[in-house]
Amino acid sequence: MLVAWNYRYRNSPMDHIDPRARFIFSFAVLFSATTTWNPNILFAVFLIAITWYSLGRLTWKDTRLGWFMISIMLFTMIVVNTIITGGGAGGVVPPGGQLVWPDGVLIFGKHLNLGLTVERLWFAVSQLMRILSISLVFIMIPYTMDSRAYGVTFSKLGLPDRLAYTMELSFRFIPTLARNFQVTLDAQRARGFELDAGKGNIIQKIRQVAPLLIPVTMNAIVSSEDIANAMDLRGFGQRKRTWLYQLKFQWWDWAIIAFSILMLATTLLLAYRFDMRLFSVPHWWYGLFN
Amino acid sequence: MQDTHTTGKKKNIWAFGTKQVVYAAIGAALYAVVTWAFNIWQIPGAGNVGIRPAVVIPMFFGIAFGPIVGFITGFVGNILADMLSGYGFWLWWDLGNGVMGLIPGLFSALIYIYNEKKSILLGEVSVVLGVALGMALASVSEMWVSGADINTVIFANFLPAFITNVLWGLVLLPILMVAYAAIVQRSGR
């Protein structure tokens, strides 16, 4: 089993943005999008997120697996929970409203009363804009950020050195542990182990994972003793750590940080000072169903 | 066997020295690799939820090495697993996974001999509490993010995640604890 990070250098504008500025921007989008259900603000945040995503110059081939998973999540959240059952909108959309099909619909010769309201349908659009805005800025991170940069990024953002180093170290261990996992799986298979044998009840099926999970976990723990001793011998944690991968702010990074702060402050101001926090349906949307 | 129980020393579960840094890093990487390997098992119809035998790893690392190691194993491990699979960052689910390791970690102060009945029972209690709190935190955050009502959050997010995670934890944690007890005994830790 080979583990490959999804990142590769594309010489895109995103490759030249400091990871600290990128995280600050991404969190500003997250909090801006989740502060309000106002359609105008959500649309503005959505446009900003699309522009940001385009800076990564990611291809469909690069990100299709991630988008496939997000599509499953969006389908459950929006189609099943909001449009079909209505529970996904229950926390925001008040009960009642204008029915999309007041006389019901004919499906396969059967007359059905779906109960879908215009308001709920607009909420599905708002939900789509909100979740896509968040997905657009966060899904691109693994594809556009060098795995060597995570430790130093979080250290420079204020995370204690030991925690930042833990993160850095875990990135380094992944290829080794994936190899160990594959070796153990092969060894157990040679002994007749089958992961999806499909025999027995649910407890027995869960226990079938044990011959794989135990050796991998115990080997990892035993080997970590040696690593800790080697780190101690080299004086780990005795003074402030330096990082091989260096970060340097450019003028555009400061501009992105300033924009992030401005975007979040404006959203908060509009939402709480000008009462634009709650869900509302634009008049033109009702016009589509009359 | 020279364990803290027989020597009478109290465990400092909040220590975060070189060993804990390495255990947390190894735990997070292991959680990511095993989750990634099993990511093909998604629960159909449940929002954001996959079947993950790997959830036992943060719980076990919490029990064995304390709450900080347990939390980092779950939190960072989930971030890494999502990165490997290309899903991006979902901070509230990462935090929920961290709590699944943190709560068993709090119980580690009471656990000295890993293959004792009492220790295993405490471990099982910590699994139920940890999964309940962790998945509740992650699921409730969906109300804030997606605007779902409490019923949807309970039935589409919390219950599928809680039931599967608690089952994996309850069955696999005792097996890992017994295996670890043998290692502790052999190496005299």
SS3 assignment for A63-118 = HHHHHHHHHHHHHHHHHHHHHHCCHHHCCCCCCCCCECCCCCEEECCEEECCCCEH
Q: What does the pLDDT read at residue B50?
A: 52
Task: Give the integer Cα–Cα distance in Å for A31 and B87.
Answer: 19
Claim to verify: residue A134 and residue A222 sit in the same structural domain: no
Q: What does the pLDDT read at residue B188?
A: 64
Domain that holds residue A198: 151-233
Q: What does the pLDDT read at residue A192?
A: 85
Interface of B with A in 26-45 (CB under 8 A): 26-30, 32-34, 36-37, 42, 45
Is residue A261 within 8 Å of residue A20, measured between CB atoms?
no
- pLDDT bin (cut points 50, 70, 90) of residue B3 is very low
Which position has the higher pLDDT, B84 or B119? B119
Mean of the pLDDT values across residues A150-162? 90
Query: Choosing among B65, B73, B87, B168, which should be mutated to test the A contact, i.e. which has the most A CBs within 10 A?
Result: B87
Q: Say if residue B51's pLDDT is above 80.
A: no
Q: Say if residue B83's pLDDT is above 50.
A: yes
Give tens-digit pLDDT for B157-187: 899 889 999 999 999 999 999 999 998 888 7
Claim to verify: residue A25 and residue A60 sit in the same structural domain: yes
Is residue B173 within 8 Å of residue B105, measured between CB atoms?
no
For B181, name the nearest residue in chain A, comparing CA atoms only: A218
Cβ count near B95 (within 10 Å)? 19
Claim to verify: residue A101 and residue A58 sit in the same structural domain: yes
- Tokens encoding A152: 């130093």
Domain that holds residue B155: 4-187
Claim to verify: residue A65 and residue A206 sit in the same structural domain: no
Claim to verify: residue A74 and residue A213 sit in the same structural domain: no
Query: Considering chain A, what percentage of its residues have pLDDT values greater than 70?
Result: 97
Q: Say if residue B49's pLDDT is above 50.
A: no
* Domain count within chain A: 2
For A63, name the nearest residue in chain B, comparing CA atoms only: B86
Which DSSP symbol is given to A14?
G
Which chain B residues touch A63 with a CB distance below 8 Å? 86
Min Cα distance B93 → chain A (Å) is 13
Give tens-digit pLDDT for B16-39: 889 999 999 999 999 999 988 877
Q: What does the pLDDT read at residue A31?
A: 93
Q: Do A139 and B23 touch (CB under 8 A)?
A: no
Q: Do A213 and B172 touch (CB under 8 A)?
A: yes
Min Cα distance B179 → chain A (Å) is 7
* Planar angle of CA B112, B118, B120, nearest 5 degrees: 80
Which chain B residues touch A207 with a CB distance below 8 Å? 171-172, 175
* Domain count within chain B: 1
Is residue B22 within 8 Å of residue B64, measured between CB atoms?
no
Which chain A residues touch B156 with a CB distance below 8 Å? 76, 80-81, 87
A194 domain-assigned: yes
Q: Say if residue A44's pLDDT is above 90.
A: yes
- pLDDT bin (cut points 50, 70, 90) of residue B47 is very low
Question: Tokens 């939390």 label which residue?
Answer: B71
Q: Say if residue B100's pLDDT is above 90.
A: yes
Task: Give the integer Cα–Cα distance in Å for A207 and A193.
Answer: 12
Assess: ipTM above 0.90: no
A240 domain-assigned: no
Closest CA to A184 of A140, A219, A151: A219
Q: What does the pLDDT read at residue A197?
A: 58
CATH number of residue B166's parent domain: 1.10.1760.20
Buried-state track A269-286, b at ≥16 Cβ within 10 A, e below 16 = ebbeeeebbebebeeeee
Which chain A residues touch B180 with a CB distance below 8 Å? 218, 221
Mean of the pLDDT values across residues A259-266? 98
Nearest-by-Cβ selection for A81 from B53, B57, B152 = B152
What are the backbone angles phi and psi of residue B186, rounded to the nearest 5°?
-70, -40
A225 domain-assigned: yes
Q: Is the dihedral of CA B70, B76, B78, B84 positive or negative?
A: negative
Which position has the higher pLDDT, B11 or A163? A163
